């Protein structure tokens, strides 16, 4: 079988690897679709992000779906030929954080395509994948591309959960990549009223409007675009910061009202914070990292037609054009979510 392997900055290769068979409690899956995530792009474009660096070749990818081709012993509730979305979240289930129900903070997490531990956790961008049956969410009624969007949607559902009650809230989303777009959809589904989105790209801002943002602001063309929301100590009750850029965070904080909540999703590296403004406005700052149980909810919401991700799958390229797909996914003027077709 073929797999997409990163060896270093801009060194992406399609390599032959041995096909695995499912063991007890596992299933074998022939991959159908895989979405290129921001972390995949960091490995491709920079060889890592922050202190996390590639130390050995690694199969990329963690946003995947496919059809089951074989069942291991003891597997029930799944069938050969069934389309499944595959959660990349594989916590140990035994550490103190798993026992507290905080599985996304697992001390021995095996998350597909991660260079955080060494040896690295190999990813899911391979034609044939063996996964635990518990990772597989039946995706009947969805396309393989939609099913592969369950992972980034789960990230945003977790972020909305971190924000708490959203009913009637005024929301600012900074950064309109895939996570920002899906945060707009998730916040709306949770009851947000006013939703404003900022970015530097006209294309992604148009996608934000498609997702339901009431107002979009191009901060490259109008760096003072949020000024209308700053009088009387600010407007927004929730900020989803999805860019990982310090200027976006600072501008967002200036537009927050006292007692508001900042949910930080963007992973652009360490940032300096306007602590005096956070303190004076009594803002609450919460990180949001990955997800766990939200994965099955993401699939269910898509199956019920309550969240539509199809408009944001902007490109699908075949496996043989993986390098071109990564270049395209890096182009914010053309792509929201670029996917690779494995079958």
In a domain, 45, yes or no: yes
Residue 204 pLDDT class (50, 70, 90 cuts): very high
The sign of the dihedral angle between the CA atoms of 40, 42, 44, 47 is: negative
Q: pLDDT: is 343 or 92 the higher one?
A: 92
Residue 341 pLDDT class (50, 70, 90 cuts): very high
**How much is the pLDDT for 267?**
79
Residue 223 to residues 84, 226, 238: CA-CA distances in angstroms? Answer: 43, 8, 21
Same structural domain, 114 and 166: no
CATH number of the domain residue 225 falls in:
3.40.50.720
DSSP line for 129-172:
EEEEGGGEEE-TTS-HHHHHTHHHHHHHHHHHHHH---TT--EE
* pTM to 2 decimal places: 0.95
Same structural domain, 122 and 8: yes
Residue 271 has pLDDT above 90, yes or no: no
Residue 89 pLDDT class (50, 70, 90 cuts): very high
Residue 111 has pLDDT above 90, yes or no: yes
**How much is the pLDDT for 50?**
81
In a domain, 292, yes or no: no
**How much is the pLDDT for 255?**
98
Same structural domain, 25 and 138: yes
CATH number of the domain residue 13 falls in:
3.90.180.10
**How much is the pLDDT for 29?**
98
In a domain, 117, yes or no: yes
Same structural domain, 7 and 145: yes
Same structural domain, 68 and 180: no
In a domain, 296, yes or no: no
Across the range 57-86, mean pLDDT stands at: 98
Residue 51 has pLDDT above 90, yes or no: no
Q: pLDDT: is 268 or 301 the higher one?
A: 301
Three-class SS state of 57: coil
Give the domain extent around 227. 155-287
In a domain, 297, yes or no: no
Residue 269 has pLDDT above 80, yes or no: no
Q: Six-digit token pair at 192? A: 């947000």
Residue 224 pLDDT class (50, 70, 90 cuts): very high
Same structural domain, 89 and 7: yes
Residue 166 has pLDDT above 90, yes or no: yes
Across the range 87-106, mean pLDDT stands at: 95
Same structural domain, 60 and 133: yes
Residue 181 has pLDDT above 90, yes or no: yes
**How much is the pLDDT for 4?**
98
Same structural domain, 332 and 243: no
Across the range 65-80, mean pLDDT stands at: 97
In a domain, 301, yes or no: no
Across the range 19-29, mean pLDDT stands at: 97
Across the range 224-236, mean pLDDT stands at: 97
**How far is residue 51 CA from its own chain's centroid?**
20
Same structural domain, 212 and 133: no
Three-class SS state of 274: coil
d(CA 35, CA 125): 9
Q: How many domains does the chain have?
A: 2
Residue 42 has pLDDT above 90, yes or no: yes
Across the range 178-187, mean pLDDT stands at: 98
Same structural domain, 82 and 64: yes
Residue 35 class from Cβ within 10 Å (0-12 exposed, 13-18 middle, 19+ buried)?
buried
The sign of the dihedral angle between the CA atoms of 314, 114, 25, 304 is: negative
Same structural domain, 314 and 276: no
**How much is the pLDDT for 343?**
82
In a domain, 203, yes or no: yes
Q: Please provide the average confidence, as pLDDT, over all residues in the chain.
A: 96
Asked if 188 contacts 182 with a C-beta cutoff of 8 angstroms, the reply is no
Residue 270 pLDDT class (50, 70, 90 cuts): confident
Same structural domain, 140 and 9: yes
In a domain, 304, yes or no: no
Closest CA to 2 of 62, 87, 60: 60
């Amino acid at each position: 079988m073929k797999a997409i392997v990163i060896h270093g900055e801009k060194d992406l290769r399609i390599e032959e690897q041995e096909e695995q068979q499912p063991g007890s409690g596992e299933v074998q899956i022939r991959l159908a679709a895989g979405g290129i995530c921001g972390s995949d792009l960091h490995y491709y474009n920079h060889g890592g992000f922050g202190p996390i660096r590639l130390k050995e070749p690694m199969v990329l990818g963690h946003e995947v779906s496919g059809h089951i081709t074989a069942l291991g012993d003891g597997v029930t509730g799944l069938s050969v030929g069934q389309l499944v979305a595959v959660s990349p979240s594989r916590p140990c289930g035994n550490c103190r954080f798993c026992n507290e129900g905080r599985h996304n903070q697992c001390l021995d997490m095996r998350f597909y395509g991660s260079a955080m531990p060494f040896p690295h956790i190999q990813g899911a961008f391979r034609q044939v994948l063996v996964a635990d049956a518990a990772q597989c969410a039946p995706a009947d009624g969805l396309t393989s591309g939609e099913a592969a969007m369950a992972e980034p949607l789960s990230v945003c559902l977790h972020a909305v959960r971190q924000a708490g009650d959203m009913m009637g809230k005024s929301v600012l989303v900074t950064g309109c990549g895939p996570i920002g777009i899906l945060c707009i959809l998730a916040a709306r589904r949770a009851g947000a009223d006013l939703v404003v989105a900022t970015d530097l790209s006209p294309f992604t801002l148009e996608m934000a409007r498609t997702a339901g943002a009431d107002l979009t602001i191009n901060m490259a063309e109008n760096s003072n675009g949020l000024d209308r929301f700053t009088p009387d100590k600010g407007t927004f009750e929730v900020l989803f910061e999805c860019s990982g850029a310090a200027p976006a965070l600072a501008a967002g904080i200036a537009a927050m009202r006292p007692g508001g909540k900042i949910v930080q999703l963007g992973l652009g590296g360490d940032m300096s914070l306007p602590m005096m403004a956070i303190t004076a406005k009594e803002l609450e700052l919460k990180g949001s990292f990955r997800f766990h149980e939200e994965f099955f909810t993401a699939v269910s919401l898509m199956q019920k037609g309550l969240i539509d991700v199809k408009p944001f799958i902007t490109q699908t390229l075949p496996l043989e054009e993986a390098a071109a797909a990564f270049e395209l996914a890096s182009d914010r003027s053309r792509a929201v979510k670029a996917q690779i077709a494995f079958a």
